[in-house]
Every structure is written in C-alpha cells, then in structure tokens.
Amino acid sequence: MAKVDFKPGNMLYPLPVVMVSVRDNSGKTNIITIAWAGTINSDPAMVSISVRKSRFSYEMLMESGEFCVNLTNRDLVRATDLCGVKSGRDVDKWKEAGLTPGECSVIKAPLIMESPVNIECRVTKTEDLGSHTIFYGEVVAVHADESLMDDKNVFHFEKSDPITYSHGRYYTLGEELGKFGYSVKKK
C-alpha cells in the first residue's frame, strides 16, 4: 500500500466529541465543544481535556478547577457544533443551542440535561503544552439517562447513537464489529 507523507500533526482520528460545561466563581457558565478529550486512568477514574488558552472557558476552568464532560449523540450534533464555533463571550450558548443546565451532584458547574451521560470532574493537575493546556480531571460523579440501562442494570451507551469527530466532520459510530476479547475466545 502506497503512503502519502504529511507534516507532523494530530492525525489520531476519529475522536470523541464532547461538550464541556463550566462555571466560574461568580456563577457565570459556559459550554465548550472539545474533541481533545480522553480517558487517562481507571483507579481513580480520570479524564483529560485539552483547551486552547484563548478560549472563553479557559479562565473559568483555571478559576474553578471543575468541569463536566457531557457526552454527545446524533440528537445533539447541531448543539455540539454551535458550542464549538460560537464564543460564550458573544452569545449565551445555553439559549442559542437550546440546552438545559442541570445541577451536578458534587461540583458547581452545570451538566447538560439533554446529554445522555454527564461526567463531573475536579481538576487535579494542569499542564501547559504550548497552544493548549491539558486539564486532568478526577471523576467525582457520573450520571446516565435511565433509558440506556437494561432490565439487568447494564449500561448500553450505544443506544444513544453517539457521535465522533474526524477532520472537521461528525459521524455516528455505525455497526458493532466485535466484543473485547472476541479474537481469542474459544469456540
């Protein structure tokens, strides 16, 4: 297979695309769309988000030390995009995107009620990486729509029709191709 060379850059795709809600110490809130987010530890449960220093939410994150990661799905794709292209300096993203703020159970930042899963985080560390700062967040609470639980109380996020981001475009996940460990399972 022939290869094409690119200049060094971020080519890790597709990415989860999430809406992160924040609140500063005066009570002002905002939503920022982030595709540079991920799981970084399991015990304690931790996630990371990478935020450009010029973003309106950056100072709110630095000040409060808290954020809520709100997972996205097909129903939220327009709101997800809007919260990524409009600035909270100029518009009320909650109103403009038609989203409803809800109360988190541990942190002061709001959660997005329309999101199928909300992950409350407290910042444990920040790292200046140049254009972005990475925020390491310990997960302090998780909320999931009850519609994603089956009768045995097993969580099925795939039922929410999650979306991903790749080179400026949004995609749904598509079909299941296998289950963890299927390649070594005895028949």
Q: Looking at residue 12, what is its pLDDT?
A: 85
The percent of residues above 90 in pLDDT, for the chain, comes to 85
| pLDDT (average), residues 9-27 | 93
Q: Is the confidence at residue 179, as pLDDT, over 90?
A: no
Question: Superfamily assignment of 16-172 in CATH?
Answer: Electron Transport, Fmn-binding Protein; Chain A (2.30.110.10)
Query: Each residue of 41-55: pLDDT tens digit?
Result: 999 999 999 999 999
Q: Where are the domains of the chain?
A: 16-172
Q: How confident is the model at residue 33 (pLDDT cuts 50, 70, 90)?
A: very high
Q: Where would I find the H helices in 5-100?
A: 56-64, 77-85, 93-97
**Coil vs helix vs strand at 98:** coil
**8 pLDDT band (50/70/90 cuts)?**
confident
The whole-angstrom separation of Cα 142 and Cα 116 is: 11
Alpha-carbon Rg of the chain, whole angstroms? Answer: 17
Contact 137, 124 (CB under 8 A): yes
Please check whether residue 69 is in contact with residue 47, taking contact to mean a CB–CB distance below 8 angstroms: yes
Buried residues in 82-98 as b, exposed as e (16+ CB within 10 A): bbbebebeeeebbeebe
Q: Which of 116-125, 149-158, 176-185 has the lowest mean pLDDT?
A: 176-185
Q: Where are the beta strands (DSSP E) in 27-162?
A: 29-34, 37-42, 45-52, 66-71, 101-103, 110-112, 117-128, 132-144
Determine contact, residues 49/69, Cβ cutoff 8 Å. yes
Instruction: Label residue 43 exposed, middle or buried (CB < 10 Å: 0-12, 13-18, 19+).
Output: exposed
* Global pTM value: 0.94
pLDDT tens, 76-87? 999 999 999 999
